[in-house]
Structure 1
Amino acid sequence: MSGGELVDGELTYESWKRALREGALIGQECTDCGHATGAPKAACARCGSRDLEAVELPTTGTVYSETTITVPPRQFTDDTYQVAIIELDTARVMARIDGTAEIGDEVRLQGTLEADDAPAPVFG
């Protein structure tokens, strides 16, 4: 698995950030029910199990939902921008869109956007 070391095989926020900055999307899959997420969690959102395994997610996905932000947070200088929920096989991640995308469009990880030492995935 690329993107930095995992602590005892556990995905931490720090290892998730490091992987994202290196161009890899790391998520978690519940070994009890199979539910996958695109970011570190303490327990499965579907069944509550704490038996989670770090998995590398694809960097190409499909726009599941999208919206345009017209009043951005103070730390962003853009007037408007688009965000989307990207479906990556069994997991979904929220990401900024570089350009524009419609529901059903295929998009690829382009990099990250940094704010307050917190990277966010950018797809386009």
Structure 2
Amino acid sequence: MEEHIGKNFPEPTVETEAYWQGCSNHQLLIQQCRECGHYQFYPRIICTDCMSRDVEWVKASGRGNVKTYTIIHRAISQAYEKDTPYVVALIELDEGPMMMSNVIGCTPEAVKVGQEVMVTFEDWSDEISIPKFTLVDAD
């Protein structure tokens, strides 16, 4: 976990605490409205579809596809230098919401729009695990 020293660690809030606890348990949690069934990410206190306050945390499938991506060649700080080049992607989860994350476990050139991905977790500390994605089928 020392390899993550100096990186931008998330700071859980009241709205995101359950999400980060799920990540710590290697479960990708998203919110679902109990009134209209709408799934949403990032965490909010109301449903973005019907404005209900009756939202709950549910375990997502952890699968999705790459909507778009970029390859980062220049680290934002020395803490990220050894990670370059790396992929930052917009992932559309099978449940519908989009989330930004990294695609790991392959060369950056292997990532393509439309590819299916699956969540994995990087433990950055005892409290924080970061969801990242791997390609399901790299041709």
TM range (shorter): 0.7 to 0.9
Alpha-carbon separation, structure 1, partners of 2:18 and 2:37: 22
* Structure ID, larger Rg: 2
Q: TM-score, normalised on structure 2?
A: 0.66
Q: TM-score, normalised on structure 1?
A: 0.72
Question: Tell me, which stretches of 5 or more residues in structure 1 are unaligned?
Answer: 1-10
Cα contact 2:18–2:57 (8 A) shared by 1:
no
Q: Indicate whether 1:54 and 2:64 are aligned.
A: no
Which residue is equivalent to 2:3? none
Residue 114 (structure 1) aligned to one of 100, 109, 124: 124
Using the TM superposition, give the Cα deviation of residue 12 of structure 1 relative to its aligned residue in structure 2, in angstroms. 4.4
Alignment of 1:85-96 (within 5 A): 85-90=90-95, 91-96=97-102
Alignment length (residue pairs): 113
RMSD: 2.5
* Partner SS for 2:124: strand
- Report which of the two has the higher share of strand: 1
Cα contact 2:63–2:94 (8 A) shared by 1:
no
Alpha-carbon separation, structure 1, partners of 2:56 and 2:92: 19
Using the TM superposition, give the Cα deviation of residue 113 of structure 1 relative to its aligned residue in structure 2, in angstroms. 6.0
What does the per-residue CA deviation read over 1:32-69, in whole Å, with 9 as the maximum and x for residues that have no partner?
Answer: 44331234212233443322121110122211221222
Q: State the percentage of identical aligned residues.
A: 29
